[in-house]
Structure 1
Amino acid sequence: MQIVSDVAQCTLGDIAIAAAAIFAGWWLLRRSFWPPTARFAFAVTTVATGFLLTVVIEWASIHLLARWSYDARMPVLPYVHVGISPVLQWLIVPSVSLWLAFRAERSGSKPT
């Protein structure tokens, strides 16, 4: 049962990071509507915010709070010593998602 709780907690954390990153994109670019007119700037701001939040949360969870640790085989980023896979998740998934959303919006199609 602990695994269900852990997965739920990680999922909620990912949702919070995504919401904060999107909000940061809107706030920093002073946009309050979809789709943002400055798509590239919005995407860069959103992905960069998600990346930075992920690094900070991972670092604090590992080094300050000792909530989890990585296996010795986990590749980590130099200097901050956080896992590459959670960081890549926040570089790849939002980039692809935003690209698909902007592409769908440009073509006039609605997501189903």
Structure 2
Amino acid sequence: MSRFYDAASRTPLATTLARIFIAAVVFNYPWERAQSTLYVGRDGTPIPWWQCFSMSLGDGLLVLLIFWIGWMWFGQPGWFEHPGLREYALMAVTGLVMIIPLEGIMIYGVEWWSYTTQMPLIPGVAVGVTSVAQMLLLPPLIFRVVAMGRRRKTKERAS
């Protein structure tokens, strides 16, 4: 039972996973829309809203993967609730390790979309700055929002 229940916060893990995924989609969708002007589709047309939404769903899965890696690394599902340097470093390193090759595959491998001339590229890896910044900045924000919600729920149960 403990595998599916976070004893520290008395929250079912399915609830934590759902909260992380939903928060990730909610925060990533506006970012995807904002940076969509720096991409064009395979046919050279602008990226539509629904494709940005589908990308934000993928971003949600990446944030869940960061959560899982943190859980395995730190040995507890609530590892993100009080992050220090180690937790932030894990978020940053896993975000970079995932997004740089993934972005490269999408742009240069399967060519689902391409960059416009306005996209600033990271020298040496030739991937977009905005997508890398997204995976560095948003996961800590997402985990913070979810942690705040978990702490509030824990306090309410204690009252």
| Aligned-residue identity in percent | 21
Report the 3-state secondary structure (helix = DSSP H, G, I; strand = E; otherwise coil) of the residue aligned with 1:39: coil
CA contact (8 A) 2:66 2:94 kept: yes
Task: Tell me how far 1:34 sits from its aligned partner.
Answer: 1.7
1:43-62 equivalences under 5 Å are: 43-62=88-107
Question: Structure 1 residues 35 and 20, CA, compared in 2 at 3 Å: closer, same or farther?
Answer: closer
For residues 41-99 of structure 1, the C-alpha deviation after alignment (integer angstroms, 9 at most, x for no partner) is 22321232122211111011111111111011210111111100011111111233445
Q: Identify unmatched segments of 5+ residues in structure 2.
A: 1-46, 154-159
Decide which moves more: 38-47 or 83-92: 38-47
Q: Distance in 2 between matches of 1:25 and 1:35?
A: 7
* Greater Rg over alpha carbons, structure: 2
More strand by share: 2
- Structure with larger RCO (C-alpha < 8 A, sep 6+): 2
Report the 3-state secondary structure (helix = DSSP H, G, I; strand = E; otherwise coil) of the residue aligned with 2:118: coil
**Does 2:59 align with 1:9?**
no
Report the 3-state secondary structure (helix = DSSP H, G, I; strand = E; otherwise coil) of the residue aligned with 1:69: strand
TM-score (norm 2): 0.56
2:73 to 13, 28, 31: 28
CA contact (8 A) 1:43 1:98 kept: no
Q: Distance in 1 between matches of 2:83 and 2:113?
A: 36
How many residues are treated as equivalent by the alignment? 106
Q: Identify unmatched segments of 5+ residues in structure 1.
A: none
Decide which moves more: 35-44 or 63-72: 35-44
